Structure 1
Amino acid sequence: MRGLSRELKRIDTKYREIESDLERQRTKRRKDDDELKVVEGVIDPPTLKAVYRLLSRGTLHALYGAISTGKEANVYRGVDPDGKSVAVKIYRVTTAESDFMLEYIVGDPRFKNVKRRHRSLIPMWAMKEYKNLQRFQEAGVRAPRPIAIQRNVLVMEFIGNVDEGVPAPLLKNVRIPSPAETFDEIIGMIDLAYKKAGLVHADLSEYNILWQNGPVFIDVSQSVLVNHENAERYLYRDLENITAYFQKLGVETEDPKVIMKYIVTPGEA
């Protein structure tokens, strides 16, 4: 009887382990289904096809819920074949306002025959961010590394904890260890972008800089070449935004006009 009792206890323990494992799997499936609904709820069938192409090519292994949302695009957490997190930016095809995009893309020699049709502009806008990220990378400006582009879906480096899938915070949400040094670093990045990448961010503020052991520029689809007719106006606006933010943190900054003159004057280093 004692042996039978031990065997029944062993079977009961094993049964409970199996039940527990099944419940974990059911919970995971429910979570994955919820995340998939989030993804499918904001993208159209052609965009889903673009995502599936990236999955079939092995660029992505999985796609999960949104880590940030905006009028222009949502950013989702993806996983690559090695199990590391990547950022997947999906530009909205149905809700984005395309008129403002023309201001930043018309006249860019990298893009010919720009059409005003919204659905034609969006893939071009996504490609513009991909190309701008490449230029930032080549120049040594801290920004996400672009990985792949498919229609209106951009896969790029995940800024944050790639193992746990936790994104880095925005600059505005960080208690900066040394605001004065960080201000100088950001101005240096703007200068490097202008002189080496040949780009002006054109929408720089504490809302599109991440903090990952220092500042990282994001949201660069609107960034323009330095020979764009409005490049200096955008540069001045960027400098105004950054100096105003750091002045609120108690940093004594140069006037944006002085900084701008330093950046745009040939030979200054």
Structure 2
Amino acid sequence: MKKRFDKKVEAIDSKVDKYRIKFKDDNARKVKEDVFDEYTLRTLYKLSKLNIIQAMGGIVSRGKEANVFLADGADQTEIAVKIYRITTSSFNSMEEYIVGDPRFKNVGQKKHEIVFAWTKKEYRNLKRAHEAGVRVPVPITSNRNVLIMEYLGKDGVPYPLLKDIRLADTEAATICDKLIDYINKLYTDARLVHADLSEYNIMVEPNSREPIIIDMGQSTTLEHPRANEFLLRDIRNITKFFTRFGIENDPDKLYNFIKSP
């Protein structure tokens, strides 16, 4: 088994050398074969040729559909490289978010076509959210199954998730108010619903205690037939989390307020 894995690693190394993709260290280079397939390596090569990626670093987070890597961008700035896996991920859940989104009427049925559309969708969603004044990772570009965006962390250490950070009650109240404001701005100004908002996809800047909404691949436009359902679910998730700090909000009242003209 180990010999078979070593051969796969050697094959990946050979392809990496072929496309001249620079890695910061050996640990960054040793990534499972399900991430660096031919599509991904070609895309990373193109982004490195455009000087968007200087060198790939290690994994910041692993998800069901994608891995996020730390990388050096232009001028050695830290950037995040989110790579959606094509060969090993199950994207059945993506269909409910893509179908009904008018921006993606003509998406093909092949797995790589769905993944490419999903990556582009997240880039566009982040761009719209950022322009509406919602604190999200600033998107830089996307290509095929690779999304480049602002790295949320410092010196290689990512910011903590909301679920993991200790908060005083007053800090929690401020963050709760800010998140409700962001949900409202997403809906009113960006014309989007996050559709999976919870303490698991909100990061917090440790010093300023600023909440940052992440993972917007599934976010939908208001034209989506389930947009209202997703909006109410987002509100309920957030209000439920903050009850542990003694903060009580009526999700139905917040929903009606956000929906009101």
TM category (shorter chain) comes to: 0.7 to 0.9
Instruction: Give yes or no for the alignment of 1:46 onto 2:42.
Output: no
Match of 1:36 among 9, 29, 36: 29
Instruction: Give yes or no for the alignment of 1:205 onto 2:201.
Output: no
In 2, are the aligned partners of 1:39 and 1:64 still within 8 Å (CA)? no
In 2, are the aligned partners of 1:199 and 1:225 still within 8 Å (CA)? yes
User: Structure 1 pair 53/92, CA: closer, same or farther in 2 (3 Å)?
Assistant: same
**Cα distance, 1:148 vs structure 2:** 1.2
TM-score normalized with structure 2 length: 0.86
User: Structure 1 pair 70/130, CA: closer, same or farther in 2 (3 Å)?
Assistant: same
**Distance in 2, Cα, partners of 1:30 & 1:226:** 41
**Cα distance, 1:133 vs structure 2:** 0.5
Partner SS state of residue 71, structure 2: strand
Partner SS state of residue 74, structure 1: strand
CA RMSD in angstroms comes to 1.6
Tell me the residue number matched to 1:261: 256
User: Structure 1 pair 30/181, CA: closer, same or farther in 2 (3 Å)?
Assistant: closer
Q: Deviations over 1:157-182 (max 9, x none)?
A: 11121xx1221111111112411121
Tell me the residue number matched to 2:178: 185
**Distance in 1, Cα, partners of 2:102 & 2:52:** 29
Q: Deviations over 1:101-156 (max 9, x none)?
A: 11111121212312232121000000000000010011010001110111100000
Unaligned 5+ segments in structure 1 are 1-28
In 1, are the aligned partners of 2:23 and 2:29 still within 8 Å (CA)? no
| Bigger Rg, which one | 1
Question: Percent of aligned pairs with the same residue?
Answer: 46
Unaligned 5+ segments in structure 2 are 1-21
In 1, are the aligned partners of 2:54 and 2:73 still within 8 Å (CA)? yes
TM-score normalized with structure 1 length: 0.84
Instruction: Give yes or no for the alignment of 1:248 onto 2:244.
Output: yes
In 1, are the aligned partners of 2:40 and 2:145 still within 8 Å (CA)? yes
**Distance in 2, Cα, partners of 1:121 & 1:199:** 20
Amino acid at match of 1:184: D
Q: Deviations over 1:174-200 (max 9, x none)?
A: 112411121111001000110000000
Amino acid at match of 1:243: T
**Distance in 1, Cα, partners of 2:32 & 2:123:** 21
Amino acid at match of 2:229: R
User: Structure 1 pair 192/31, CA: closer, same or farther in 2 (3 Å)?
Assistant: closer
User: Structure 1 pair 136/185, CA: closer, same or farther in 2 (3 Å)?
Assistant: same
Match of 2:156 among 157, 160, 165: 165
In 2, are the aligned partners of 1:106 and 1:114 still within 8 Å (CA)? no
In 1, are the aligned partners of 2:24 and 2:56 still within 8 Å (CA)? no
The equivalences for 1:80-229 within 5 A come to: 80-161=73-154, 164-177=155-168, 178-212=171-205, 213=208, 214-229=210-225
User: Structure 1 pair 73/197, CA: closer, same or farther in 2 (3 Å)?
Assistant: same
User: Structure 1 pair 145/249, CA: closer, same or farther in 2 (3 Å)?
Assistant: same
**Distance in 2, Cα, partners of 1:114 & 1:81:** 32
